[in-house]
């Protein structure tokens, strides 16, 4: 991870200091480096975990992810990211959007060094990521299940890139094809669980713990796992909460009321249990790996995603 961290900064350099500063802004803010860590863990399933291509692939997925955060913050009108001012708050929406584009270009340059098949995988992944982002802006149809629609959004926005992280690690670490496929499927599920747990934390945590403004999705009227589960309740006592959910809450008092009601609702425990079940499903795929420290680490990784507090 130390190698990856150093390499990341080298890969986002521009000829122009302002562009370099803007592109480094969210890297400087930190983050868990969840995706590159999974690349490195998955690479341990093969005979060449220290191959140069593994570190390059780890940089590809993180730079792609960070680029998407610049766009996410514009869409969400977020003021904070990782405890620091978002790029759109520090500069403006135009700088944030174009910086995200610059990072996508840099990740594409890096992917090209990994060969044509990696370029294809990255293109397919990016297509799914953007599809998920678009789908998030479209309400489900009258015959659609809102929860299933939401899960499709999560699979595209988050699961796709984390699946590719696991795939890249296994592939460039030299793992057998069946292990690569199992780890890609594992990554898809763990990635979705990561986003679902993030959405739970958006309700449950304060800004000090999470580094983001609490209830951002709630304020924007963006459906999430706990809000959808609460909205499905038929309990008359939940009538007030149901009336607040699913629409933007621009009024601070209404936002605070909805946040308090949702934090106290059984949907929070229901959502947490769902995420734990998804982690168990991911761990079941790891039977493709022999017992040992690599499998143990990937199981612990899935558990950490499901039960994280920040």
159-174 pLDDT tens trace: 999 999 999 999 999 9
pLDDT tens per residue across span 120-156: 999 999 999 999 999 988 888 888 899 999 999 999 9
Instruction: Please name the residue that has the structure tokens 């680490």.
Output: 297
Q: How far apart (Å, rounded) are the C-alpha atoms in residues 106 and 242?
A: 44
In percent, how much of the chain has pLDDT > 70?
95
Q: What's the pLDDT at 172? A: 98
pLDDT tens per residue across span 22-68: 888 888 877 789 899 999 999 999 999 999 999 999 999 999 999 98
* Burial of 144 (C-beta count, 10 Å sphere; 0-12/13-18/19+): exposed
Q: What's the pLDDT at 86? A: 74
217 compared with 187, residue with greater pLDDT: 187
- Cβ count within 10 A of residue 86: 25
83 compared with 281, residue with greater pLDDT: 281
Q: What's the pLDDT at 202? A: 86
**Torsion angle, CA of 263/223/201/192, rounded to 10 degrees?**
140
Q: Is the pLDDT of residue 215 over 90?
A: no
Q: How far apart (Å, rounded) are the C-alpha atoms in residues 256 and 249?
A: 9
**Torsion angle, CA of 11/17/19/22, rounded to 10 degrees?**
90
Partners of 85 in the β-ladder: 80
Q: Is the pLDDT of residue 4 over 60?
A: yes
pLDDT band of residue 310 (cuts 50, 70, 90) is low
Partners of 81 in the β-ladder: 84
pLDDT band of residue 85 (cuts 50, 70, 90) is confident
Q: What's the pLDDT at 80? A: 66
Q: Is the pLDDT of residue 219 over 90?
A: no
Q: What's the pLDDT at 207? A: 54
229 compared with 140, residue with greater pLDDT: 229
- Cβ count within 10 A of residue 145: 13
Output the six-digit token pair for 261: 């009601």
Buried b or exposed e, range 158-188, using 16+ CB within 10 angstroms: bbbbbbbbbbbbbbbbbbeeebbebbbbbbb
Identify the CA nearest to 211 among candidates 73, 65, 59. 73
Residues 189-193, mean pLDDT to the nearest whole number: 94
Residues 2-27, mean pLDDT to the nearest whole number: 90
End-to-end CA distance of the chain: 20
Q: Is the pLDDT of residue 74 over 80?
A: no
Q: Residue 31: left if φ>0, alpha if ψ -120 to 50, beta else—which one?
A: left
Locate CATH 1.10.600.10 in the chain.
1-175, 180-309
- What is the topology classification, in CATH, of domain 180-309? Farnesyl Diphosphate Synthase (1.10.600)
Q: What's the pLDDT at 140? A: 86
The CATH number assigned to the domain with range 1-175 reads 1.10.600.10
**Mean pLDDT, rounded, of the chain:** 90
């Amino acid at each position: 991870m130390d190698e990856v961290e150093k390499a990341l900064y080298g890969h986002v350099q521009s000829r122009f200091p302002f562009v370099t500063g803007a592109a480094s802004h969210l890297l400087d803010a930190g983050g868990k480096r969840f995706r590159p860590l999974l690349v490195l863990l998955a690479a341990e399933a093969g005979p060449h975990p220290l191959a140069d291509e593994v570190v390059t692939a780890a940089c590809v997925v993180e730079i792609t992810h960070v680029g998407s955060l610049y766009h996410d913050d514009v869409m969400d009108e977020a003021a904070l990211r990782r405890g620091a001012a978002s790029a759109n708050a520090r500069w403006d929406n135009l700088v944030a959007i174009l910086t995200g584009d610059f990072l996508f270009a840099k990740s594409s340059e890096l992917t090209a060094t990994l060969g044509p098949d990696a370029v294809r995988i990255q293109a397919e992944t990016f297509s799914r990521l953007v599809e998920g982002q678009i789908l998030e802006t479209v309400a489900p149809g009258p015959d659609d299940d809102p929860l299933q629609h939401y899960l499709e959004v999560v699979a595209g926005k988050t699961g796709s890139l984390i699946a590719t992280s696991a795939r890249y690690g296994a592939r460039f670490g030299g793992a057998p094809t069946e292990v690569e496929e199992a780890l890609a499927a594992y990554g898809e599920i763990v990635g979705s669980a990561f986003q679902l747990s993030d959405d739970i934390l958006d309700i449950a945590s304060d800004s000090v713990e999470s580094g983001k403004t609490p209830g951002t999705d709630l304020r924007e009227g963006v459906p999430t796992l706990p809000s959808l589960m609460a909205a499905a309740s038929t309990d008359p006592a939940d009538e007030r909460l149901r009336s607040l959910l699913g629409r933007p809450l621009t009024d601070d008092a209404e936002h605070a009321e909805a946040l308090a009601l949702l934090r106290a609702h059984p949907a929070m425990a229901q959502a947490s249990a769902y995420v734990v079940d998804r982690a168990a499903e991911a761990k079941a795929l790891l039977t493709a790996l022999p017992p040992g420290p690599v499998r143990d680490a990937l199981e612990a990784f899935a558990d950490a995603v499901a039960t994280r507090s920040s």
